[in-house]
Amino acid sequence: MNDEREGCATSDQLGADAQPGRAASGGMTAGMTPGMTSADVADASRLVAYGLQPKLLPARDAEYAELIRRHRDDPAFARLADAVAAGLGLVILEVSARAGMALAAAEDSVFAVRMGEYSRRAASDSTDRFLHGLAHLAIAAMAFPRPADLADDGYIGRITVNGVDAFVRQACRRLEERAEEQGENTDPASEAPGLEAGWRVYARRSATGATKDARRLAGSTTGIVGKAVAFLVDSGFLQRTGDESGGTYRTTARYQLQVRDMAGSAAMAELLGLGIVPVADGTPSLVAADGSEDLELVAEAGLPFHS
Amino acid sequence: MSVVPTNVSVVSTSTAQVLPHHTAGLARPVAPGPAADEGLARRLKALACTAPLHDLDVRKANLAGEYSTYAMAEVALAAIDLVTLNMDFDTGADHDQIIARLLLRVAAQAPQRSAAEHERVARWVLENLINVGSVDRGFRAVYGTFGPDGVYVRRDYDFKLIEEVPGPGGTVYLRATDEAVNVLVGALDTDVTSAQIATEVKLEVLINRGRLADAQLAAEQARYRTVQYAESLRRALEATRRDVRAVDWLRAVPDMINEALDHVADRYRHENAILTNIRKARDESEEPEHKRRAAELVDIVKDCIRRHTQLQSRLLEAGPLFRAEQDRQAFAAPPARCGLDLYGQLLAPVLPLPVEQAAKVTGAFFAHGVGLRAPLAVRIGDLVEALLMPPVEREHLGAQMPEPDLVATPEDSRFSEQQLEVALELLDLPHDAPRRLSDLLAEARRHDPELPYLVALLAVHAASPPIGTAYRQGEQRLLFAVDDGTELDDPEFGGADLIVGSALLDAAEMAAERTVEENRR
């Protein structure tokens, strides 16, 4: 719990850092600026309300665009809108013409989505909770494969449901091979299912399954990824572009902001809390394996991920 | 493409027991327990893979109805067999197709029962092999081993026999897992290539000696190995298709493709040689049983060749795909600043963690990454109204279709039926009296100024007569045209003055020939 709060604090800070100009001119907790009327408060609240409709873009709505412009040009109005958002338990990630007012829910906000509401099965089953979370992480990793992709504002990621599943499965297979190479027994002890490795849980869950009504089997991994993708579409983070490979999607500016400024850092903080410190220098880690390792692998030589 | 050294180090404060992978690379404690334990575990796992099959025969008694006549394990093994052989390169075996083929065997076991029951049995077996009831759609066996510290630990072994994989267009296909293939063929835990070579050599020797029953067994095993080889290559190609940077495009992939192409070329040559040999054995054999086996062998080897060809076409497609992906990714603008490496810094370190710990990380990502939802606020008045609203009646058959307005298309043929009739009559020449095209054209022109065009067209076609069709259909005569070098002197047409005539065909001899050929096939 302590760790989670820390993660939240970090992301808050990141959120504020994204708008240094405003942070310098008073911060979010500044009092009501003189000269502002209740009509201005109504406008500021309307801007926040627009931000709560994540699929709506300023380019599609003249009034939204006007409020965004006012937020940029009128510092007093901007402070007012920021205060409204903060009061509702919302973190502002960015206010711009491309993303609109990109909002994220703070930890204990009424707008936050809880795992139990997201999937009833995940509420009771720790394995399912892990798989649902992993699906979201994998979608982000597939959408922004290189660190540069996540940093580049103009980058649009493209994913497919089956692609995400295959991507995680391949990473799992690589770990399985590595464990086999080292002659390690990865079968978990019967009394301690919680000690089973994450990749093994994913690998043994079936990828798909025939159902009576020809829908995706909810418990299969493509079902879980499909659910995550559909949820992200509703959050205004992905846009559906086609039906191939279980559904193809592209990312929106909001998703990039959310992953970069909120989710990535929160998960990193949690990982650090477990005592694991992955160090990177900005070069992608999804690179070719070096030759020496290939000699030991027969079936998938030359194709593994390297981390 | 340069090889980038690893830049992610994983430091763990947990004990070696929880995270054995991270310490194993440095200095692994030597297991004090008996070395045979590992072999025992392996045998236990192999034994476990057969358990679902035995289980079917045990549980058939619990089914509503009298099912003891059916040998369920046999049906199950046949199902695994069918799925393995019907697995294609891209997809797997089709669910309904497997059921349909399985029905033959089920029906043979209890011919007096109804077809509906046969289908129910086939479906029951297939569903149990997939294990539809469980959330993982797999099986679990528990076995015990002694750990490095001498403590006895019970472990879960999870496996699948037939798994369902997504196919194109949201369909679901079946694939036999490695475990299933092991159960089926046995002891396939060997290098695929060398095992394949051994089988092929064995097959050739057996055929040469005329021991066809053994040869058939060897050929079937060779086919399983071919399937397995294709399967591992399919996985490899799929992985490369996903991310170009996950792949050593400088050496490893081209090497692999070349190796596989060599393999295909080699096997193709080999199997064609075998095919010729068995065909000879089949045609020369007097004994019907011998003949039948040889014919079956021909089918199997033909299927092997088909699979190799399929594999080869995939291999040839891989290169251009890589280059296109390379172009797209390599010429992207350089990054402005460093971002978080989602795969290297999050996903890769999370996957080896125990689920309990990993779920904390994925949970944090989920909580901050799914976005927000505005909570619903319902007024009780609206709710009551909404609940009391009668449902909208929907037309059962939908809207009425408008009557389609059909318009007769005008006759737009160049020549009329009548003209064709006259032309054919003109070209119905006695077989011993061929005529010059110029002569025919002149006669046609007397009938109708349009007719020479049709006659010329038919004559040109006759220059390359459809001999194959005539042969297959057992025609009695065939129109032909030959160019003897004479130039055509005609006001409307130019070219060679063809000699047009009819050839008589020996229908009886052709029919005899066809029968022989069919037999050979």
> Rounded mean pLDDT of B147-171?
81
Token representation of residue B313: 């076409």
Residue B477: its H or E element: strand B477-482
How far CA B352 is from CA of A14, A77, A186, B369, in Å, comes to 29, 49, 10, 22
- For chain A, the structural domain boundaries read 2-105, 116-276
Q: Predicted confidence band at A12 (pLDDT cuts at 50, 70, 90)? A: very low
B16 touches chain A (CB under 8 A): no
Return the pLDDT at A154: 82
Between B224 and A98, the higher pLDDT residue: A98
CB atoms under 10 Å from CB of B214, counted, come to 14
> Rounded mean pLDDT of B329-348?
68
CB atoms under 10 Å from CB of B230, counted, come to 21
DSSP secondary structure string, A170-223?
Answer: HHHHHHHHHHHHTT---PPBTT-GGGSBHHHHHHHS-S----TTSSPPTTSHHH
Q: A36 and A295 in contact (C-beta within 8 Å)? A: no
Q: B241 and B321 in contact (C-beta within 8 Å)? A: yes
Return the pLDDT at A85: 92
Residue A134: its H or E element: helix A126-143
Q: B152 and B146 in contact (C-beta within 8 Å)? A: yes
> Rounded mean pLDDT of A176-182?
84
CA dihedral A163, A169, A171, A172 (to 10 degrees): 170
Q: B144 and B154 in contact (C-beta within 8 Å)? A: yes
Backbone angles phi, psi at A180, to 5 degrees: -65, -40
Closest by Cα among A123, A143, A146 to A133: A123
Distance CA A214, CA B240 (A): 30
Measured CA angle at B494 (ends B490, B497), to 5 deg: 75
Residue B355: its H or E element: helix B355-369
Closest by Cα among B52, B43, B38, B37 to B159: B52
Q: What is the DSSP letter of B487?
A: B
Give the gap in angstroms from C-alpha A59 to the nearest C-alpha of chain B.
21
Whether the per-residue pLDDT at B312 is higher than 60: the answer is: yes
Q: B368 and A263 in contact (C-beta within 8 Å)? A: yes
For chain A positions 13-72, those within 8 Å of chain B (CB to CB) are: 52, 54
Q: Which residues of chain A make contact with B358, given a CB cutoff of 8 A?
A: 130, 134, 198
Total residues found in chain A within this entry? 307
Q: Which residues of chain A make contact with B253, given a CB cutoff of 8 A?
A: 302-303
B234 touches chain A (CB under 8 A): no
Distance CA B296, CA B290 (A): 10
Q: B322 and B244 in contact (C-beta within 8 Å)? A: yes
Give the gap in angstroms from C-alpha B29 to the nearest C-alpha of chain A.
12
Calculate the average pLDDT of chain B: 75
Whether the per-residue pLDDT at B228 is higher than 50: the answer is: yes
Between A2 and A250, the higher pLDDT residue: A250
Contact A284 B245 (CB under 8 A): yes
For chain B positions 184-213, those within 8 Å of chain A (CB to CB) are: 191-192
For chain B positions 327-356, those within 8 Å of chain A (CB to CB) are: 332-356
DSSP E strand stretches across B61-205: 93-94, 139-146, 152-159, 162-166, 172-176
- Give the three-class secondary structure for B322: helix
Return the pLDDT at B9: 38
> Rounded mean pLDDT of A232-239?
92
